[in-house]
Structure 1
Amino acid sequence: MLSLGALLSDRSLELRLLVSGTAGAVEREVLWVHSTELADPSPYLRAGEIVLTNGLWLRETSAADFAANVRRSGAAGIVFGLREVMPETPAELIEACRREDLPLAEISIAVPFTAVAEAASALQADERRDALVGMVRRGDALASAISHGAGASGVLAVLRREHELPLAVVDRMARPLASAGLDLSADQRRRVADGLARHPPPLEIDLGGTEGRATVFLVGAVGDTDAALLCLRPVTELTKPQQDALDQVARFLSLEVAKQQAIQAIELRFASELLDMILSGAQRAAEVPDRLRAFGVDPSGRLVVLTVAFGDGAESTLPGLSETIGEFFLGQGLAVVVAGGSQDVVAALQEPRQDVKELAEALCAVVRKRFPDRRPVVGLGDTAASVRELRQPLVQSREACQVLRRRQGGQAVASFRELGTHRLLLGLQDAGTLRGFADGVLGPLRQHDSTRDSELESTLRAFLAHDGQYGATAAALYVHVNTLRNRLARITELTGRDVARTEDRVDLYLALEADELAG
């Protein structure tokens, strides 16, 4: 590191310290050396530079004014070059530097200022070389840690061997990925996740409590900010080598996060495939036990299924819901298969010892805390006595969840048998039966729509969605009421069911619902 102390230690420069200045000033890093004989060099000096001078300015200004001008510029000190006509440093300059707390050194007549510049250049070159070598060695150690499966904790351990900094890694779901000397509370991790959700993310985050502010080094996987490397130091207190090391570690953490995301994506795909196997019935029943074992779930015992979604008009799940559910069950010591979709998240696990509904209510509370602006609901199916009977509980739990989603407020957790609704009856039917019923009722409408480019099926859906109100349906379809009546008459003619009769309207409505359930 280039400093006045480093130059003083070079005996070839024949430097002698006359004034040490403030505490630590001699060893503080300096920017460069600057030769000048101006009476007021402050407009041309940069903060942190060392002034090299022979004192020719003494013919124009006093030593006190010169020292004050140098101090005002933020310079790191003065090196006074002795000459044959001035073999000693002026006493007034020494006294002025003492008053200004400005380091002062003198250099012998035999050594030119160019030698000081060459020494400064060599020091900076050595520093850059050492930094580059250190970065390469650190990179090798980081790559080795990741390749050997050390994970994020192993990456932090590499950094801690060089810099004893309090560190933590938190992802955008507020999950702790690793820590070293810094244990964050759930509230602090939430502050970090909220910061990562901002655009752009902040450079520092106030953790609150006694910790104060932490510097943020972003960790990105596939173009997005997926996590943060936190250092419990304000950025102004971090040295340049420390910042460079933290930046490098954040890039390697991106590799680790990307790897974890790939693993999670594979697990999610396997879990989704498991749902397809269960719903396929006997066709793929033989594959289900092995897939359950892959997730640590014993297929030989009784199994339960829970389905989680958001109510109050929410049309989809949110990123992090599947992970939150999985972490909840793992925290309970229960192996689980979690499959996330666009509308709900399904969890299948071995029957727990505690009451399933109580477990579901605890899960609901955790999800509500994680997503405070949403209303989570949990649907439960019957317990499956064996893996071969898992299809019906799966259908039941999803249907119960859908019923809870559509209800405004009220019950958040309910089992299939607690709810009275036509969808539960439909859910007991297999996909083939549902498809046959739906096609039998709606087939003539679809054929008419495809050949005549009409909109009879969408008109029927809108009419039933608006509770049979002609005016509201016409407004929603942007047609005249007479046009709506003509379309409904055509629907009656094609299906043999009159939308004005309750019995026929029920058939039409159930056909649409069966069509949705059958996919």
Structure 2
Amino acid sequence: MLSLAALVADPDLELRVVVPGRDGALAEQVLWVHNTELPDPAPYVREHEVVLTNGLWLDRTGPADFVARVVRAGAAGIIFGLRVEQRDTPPELAEACREAGLPLLEISVAVPFTAVTRAAAAIQAADRQNALMSLVRRGDELTSALSRGAGASGVLAVLRGEHELPLAVVDRMGRELASAGAELDAGQSRAAAEALARRPPPLEADLGAGTRAALFPVGAIGEADAALLCLRPVAELTGEERDALEQTARYLSLEVARHQAVQAIEMRFAVELLDMVLSGAQRVAEVPGRLRAFGVDPDGPLAVIALAFAGDDTTATPPGMAEAVTDFLLADGLPAVVAAGSRDVVAVLPFRAGRQSPAAFAPRLAAAVSHRLSGGRVVVGLADPVSGAAGLREPLSRSREACRVLRGRRGGPVAASFAELGSYRLLLESHDEQWRHTFADALIGPLREHDRVRDGDLETTLRAFLDHDGQWAATAAALFVHVNTLRNRLAKVTELTGRDIGRTADRVDLFLALEAAQSG
């Protein structure tokens, strides 16, 4: 690095330190050297440059004024060149530099300023060459770490071997992917993810508890998938450290992309497994092999759970929910197939009794997922375990149905089985699919045919009326129609179905028929 100390260390320059300046000034980085004999060099001297002068300005301005102007320009120091006519550095100049804390060096009569310029250029060229060599060497080591499958931890180990920095990699979901010399708690990981979500991400993030971290985005152009964190403020990092961190972040993007590709493949396989289970006998032979690929024994007892955020059952599954469920189960030592649906997340896992039974860990799982995603109330639908892969279809349907019931309730337990809910859905589920289809078609079929022929809204009107608990005004407002129009439509429903919406028993029939038609 070019500095006054580096120049003094060159014996060919014959430099002598007259005034060392403030503490550490001689070791600070110098941008370049600037030769001037102007009485006011401030307009032309850049910050962190060294002023080379023979003092030809002494007959036009005093040393104190000259030094003040050099300081105002932000110069790194002065090198005074001795001449035949000026064999000594002026004491007034030395005193002014001493008072200003500005380094002052003198160079002998025998050495020209061009020698200083050549020496400075040589030092900077060596610095650039060393930086390039470090870049290449570090790149080779990072490539080797990735090719060996060392992952993000191996990449950080390469950087730590060169710079003792506290490091961590956190993705945009707040998951810590790797760390070296740093320990982040859950709150700090979330703070890093929140900083990463800003557009553009900041150069530095406040992680709380007095900890600030330099942030280097990792990922594709336009959107960062993760961040390399160095638990030091940006101002405390040297240029070499920043360069190394930026290079490492670029290599980490390859590892993060690989990790995301693996997750995408696993998720697709998991969703395909659910399709196999639901397809019945057609693909049941493929299910055991797919379970084994996820480390789940298809011949042992199996459980199925379904999770969703409470509220309207049309709410989409938030990003990262499947990953949060997977991480929780793996932390509990439970291999699982976890698939994200459009409205819920489903997990197929080995059934174990005690603390690792779904009923026992479901409340902890719900709390962990809610905390991880900074969301609201998470509910978990359960089903009775089955003895092997061949029986997964029923618990899959029942756990999802239980989850659907729970998410529509404002209170109560966060986890329950299908049988525990005591819902009308249990009644529907107790009949086979053909019965439900026949029952629904008998009552809802005439309404759908009427709507198809006349482009009507009888089915929609009936569903809205029941959803609003038979309240005429509320239903009419929801449909944006007059109450008389609503009465006419429901009279037509009575005519076509033979069920009077004013009678409780007939309302129950119509409601069950709508639910059976929807599930079919």
Report TM bin, short chain.
Answer: over 0.9
Residues 157-176 of structure 1: pairs in structure 2 closer than 5 A:
157-176=157-176
Aligned to 2:456: 454
Instruction: Give distance in 1, aligned partners of 2:431 and 2:240.
Output: 67
Instruction: Give distance in 1, aligned partners of 2:199 and 2:19.
Output: 50
1:190-236 CA distances to partner (integer Å, 9 max, x unpaired)? 32233333444333233334x62221112234742322211121100
Kept in 2: contact 1:426–1:434 (CA 8 A): yes
**TM-align CA RMSD:** 2.3
Instruction: Give distance in 2, aligned partners of 1:249 and 1:506.
Output: 64
Distance 1:122 1:154, change over 3 A: same
Q: Helix, strand or coil for the counterpart of 1:78?
A: strand
Distance 1:80 1:428, change over 3 A: farther
Q: Helix, strand or coil for the counterpart of 1:515?
A: helix
Kept in 2: contact 1:221–1:257 (CA 8 A): no
Amino acid corresponding to residue 461 of structure 1 in structure 2: R
Kept in 1: contact 2:299–2:387 (CA 8 A): no
Aligned to 1:122: 122
Instruction: Give distance in 2, aligned partners of 1:451 and 1:442.
Output: 14
Amino acid corresponding to residue 514 of structure 2 in structure 1: L
Q: Helix, strand or coil for the counterpart of 1:26?
A: helix
Distance 1:130 1:429, change over 3 A: farther
Aligned to 2:29: 29
Q: Percent identity?
A: 62
Instruction: Give distance in 2, aligned partners of 1:76 and 1:378.
Output: 66
Distance 1:463 1:194, change over 3 A: same
Instruction: Give distance in 2, aligned partners of 1:253 and 1:430.
Output: 53
Kept in 1: contact 2:310–2:409 (CA 8 A): yes
Please say which of residues 15-24 and 409-418 is displaced more in the overlay.
15-24
Q: 1:45 deviation in Å?
A: 2.6
Instruction: Give distance in 2, aligned partners of 1:244 and 1:372.
Output: 34
Q: 1:494 deviation in Å?
A: 3.9
Kept in 1: contact 2:173–2:373 (CA 8 A): no
Instruction: Give distance in 1, aligned partners of 2:147 and 2:29.
Output: 37
TM-score (norm 2): 0.93
Instruction: Give distance in 2, aligned partners of 1:432 and 1:204.
Output: 62
1:95 aligns with 2:88: no
Instruction: Give distance in 1, aligned partners of 2:197 and 2:280.
Output: 42
TM-score (norm 1): 0.93
Residues 9-408 of structure 1: pairs in structure 2 closer than 5 A:
9-209=9-209, 212-221=211-220, 223-313=222-312, 315-354=315-354, 355-408=357-410
Distance 1:460 1:438, change over 3 A: same
1:397-439 CA distances to partner (integer Å, 9 max, x unpaired)? 1111111111111221111111111112323455555445444
Instruction: Give distance in 1, aligned partners of 2:258 and 2:290.
Output: 22
Instruction: Give distance in 1, aligned partners of 2:145 and 2:137.
Output: 12
Instruction: Give distance in 1, aligned partners of 2:428 and 2:258.
Output: 42
Kept in 2: contact 1:310–1:316 (CA 8 A): no
Q: Helix, strand or coil for the counterpart of 1:18?
A: strand
Instruction: Give distance in 1, aligned partners of 2:450 and 2:138.
Output: 70
Q: 1:110 deviation in Å?
A: 4.2
Kept in 2: contact 1:307–1:345 (CA 8 A): yes
Kept in 1: contact 2:370–2:377 (CA 8 A): yes
1:298-324 CA distances to partner (integer Å, 9 max, x unpaired)? 111111111111113472332222122
Distance 1:103 1:350, change over 3 A: same
Amino acid corresponding to residue 480 of structure 1 in structure 2: H
Q: Helix, strand or coil for the counterpart of 2:255?
A: helix
Please say which of residues 143-152 and 485-494 is displaced more in the overlay.
485-494
Instruction: Give distance in 2, aligned partners of 1:123 and 1:430.
Output: 85
Aligned to 1:463: 465
1:512 aligns with 2:514: yes
Distance 1:217 1:429, change over 3 A: farther
Q: 1:168 deviation in Å?
A: 0.9
Amino acid corresponding to residue 174 of structure 1 in structure 2: G
Instruction: Give distance in 1, aligned partners of 2:438 and 2:273.
Output: 25
Amino acid corresponding to residue 156 of structure 2 in structure 1: L
1:315-371 CA distances to partner (integer Å, 9 max, x unpaired)? 233222212211111111111111111211111111113143112122223234334
Distance 1:64 1:372, change over 3 A: closer
Distance 1:223 1:42, change over 3 A: closer
Please say which of residues 95-104 and 167-176 is displaced more in the overlay.
95-104
Instruction: Give distance in 2, aligned partners of 1:336 and 1:213.
Output: 37
Instruction: Give distance in 1, aligned partners of 2:441 and 2:127.
Output: 77
Distance 1:122 1:496, change over 3 A: farther
1:24-73 CA distances to partner (integer Å, 9 max, x unpaired)? 32221111112222223234332211001110111122223322332333
Kept in 2: contact 1:431–1:517 (CA 8 A): no
Distance 1:81 1:484, change over 3 A: same
1:244-279 CA distances to partner (integer Å, 9 max, x unpaired)? 111111122122112111111111111111111111
Instruction: Give distance in 2, aligned partners of 1:406 and 1:387.
Output: 30
Amino acid corresponding to residue 386 of structure 2 in structure 1: A
Instruction: Give distance in 1, aligned partners of 2:433 and 2:5.
Output: 83
Q: 1:390 deviation in Å?
A: 1.4
Amino acid corresponding to residue 376 of structure 1 in structure 2: V
Instruction: Give distance in 2, aligned partners of 1:353 and 1:197.
Output: 41
Amino acid corresponding to residue 193 of structure 1 in structure 2: A
Kept in 1: contact 2:169–2:176 (CA 8 A): yes
Q: 1:239 deviation in Å?
A: 0.8
Q: 1:478 deviation in Å?
A: 1.2
Instruction: Give distance in 2, aligned partners of 1:430 and 1:11.
Output: 97
Please say which of residues 375-384 and 447-456 is displaced more in the overlay.
447-456
Instruction: Give distance in 2, aligned partners of 1:454 and 1:119.
Output: 90
Kept in 2: contact 1:396–1:428 (CA 8 A): no
Instruction: Give distance in 2, aligned partners of 1:30 and 1:449.
Output: 83
Kept in 1: contact 2:42–2:72 (CA 8 A): yes
Distance 1:49 1:512, change over 3 A: same
Kept in 2: contact 1:395–1:428 (CA 8 A): no
Q: Helix, strand or coil for the counterpart of 1:379?
A: strand
